[in-house]
Amino acid sequence: MLLHSPFDNHILAAQPEEESARLLPNLERVSLTLGEVLCEPDLRISHAYFPATSIISLLCVMEDGCSVGAAVVGNEGVIGVSLFMGGETTPCQAVVQSAGDAYRLKGQYLKEEFCRSGPMQRVLLRYTQALFTQMAQTAVCNRRHSLEQQLCRWLLLSLDRLPSRELIVTHEHIANMLGVRREGVTEAAGNLQRAGLIEYHRGHMTILDRPGLESRVCECYAVVKRECDRLLPATMVL
């Protein structure tokens, strides 16, 4: 089994030595399971989560129980933006999309670090801008582009946040993320599989041809990736 560290998360890895020394003793490694709910709409958030090998979906849930994904968060980011933005709650539900490890931090510690106005504050603000871009572009994509294009966007965003080419995910979960019927996802995924771009079997989806997915995706993926790369480069100067 691969061992992971807090520095697999880009935000934590970007912190200088002094800031890391304060944070590391307060970080708790947690194993997240597929479908686990980390926070519910309008309930006070107690912890922030820094994904290392997991992916979290932010879902907007309607009164009738239907949902649609607003964003995906992986090793580039953090769950708990409202903690340091001052809201304490969020209208979104955070659900584990891909099982794996994350590092949990009490909300109070995150707020204290943010209020120091140091490197953590700067990187969290830049991450928040990248997250807002993803949410806005997702809304446009859901309205303007085909289900197959939306699925390609979702797959590529997920692939960017995983250490492997395999996702453990059901068609039902993808349907919840995209806000569509499961039958539509089955048809779109079938088209991609017949084209040799993915392989899907009993909840395991493997990306076989990334360039092929990129050739079919709409411009929304490039907009989100370009902004994330601009704001959160691999080697971040704080």
Identify the pLDDT of residue 101.
93
Give the domain 6-120 fold: Jelly Rolls (2.60.120)
- On whether the CB atoms of residues 152 and 216 are closer than 8 A, the answer is yes
CA distance 157 to 5: 22
3-state SS string over 194-221? Answer: HCCCEEEECCEEEECCHHHHHHHCCHHH
Of 74, 90, 61, 91, whose CA–CA distance to 10 is shortest? 74
**Predicted local confidence at residue 3, as pLDDT:** 55
Question: At CA 171, angle to CA 91 and CA 48, rounded to 5?
Answer: 35
- Give the Cα separation of 120 and 109 in Å (integer): 12
Q: Which amino acid is at 66?
A: C
* Domain ranges across the chain: 6-120, 142-224
* pLDDT at position 1: 43
Which pLDDT score, from 0 to 100, does residue 112 have? 93
**Per-residue model confidence (pLDDT) at position 42:** 86
pLDDT of res. 55? 93
Closest alpha carbon to 110 in 9, 8, 225: 9
Q: Are 95 and 12 in contact (CB under 8 A)?
A: no
Contact 4, 52 (CB under 8 A): yes
Q: Select from 9, 17, 14 the least CA-distant residue to 105.
A: 9
Domains 6-120 and 142-224 fall in the same CATH topology: no
- State which residues of the chain have pLDDT below 50: 1, 235, 237-238
pLDDT for the residue 169: 83
State how far the Cα of 176 lies from the Cα of 198, in Å rounded to an integer: 20
At 153 the pLDDT is 95
The CATH number assigned to the domain with range 142-224 reads 1.10.10.10
Residues 6+ apart with CB under 8 A from 191: 148
At residue 49, the pLDDT reads 97
Q: In Å, what is the CA distance from 110 to each residue of 4, 132, 198?
A: 21, 20, 39
The structure's pTM equals 0.91
* pLDDT given for residue 167 in this prediction: 86
- The pLDDT tens digits of the residues spanning 111-158 come to 999 999 999 999 999 999 999 999 999 999 988 999 999 999 999 999
- As a whole number of angstroms, the distance between CA 35 and CA 99 comes to 8
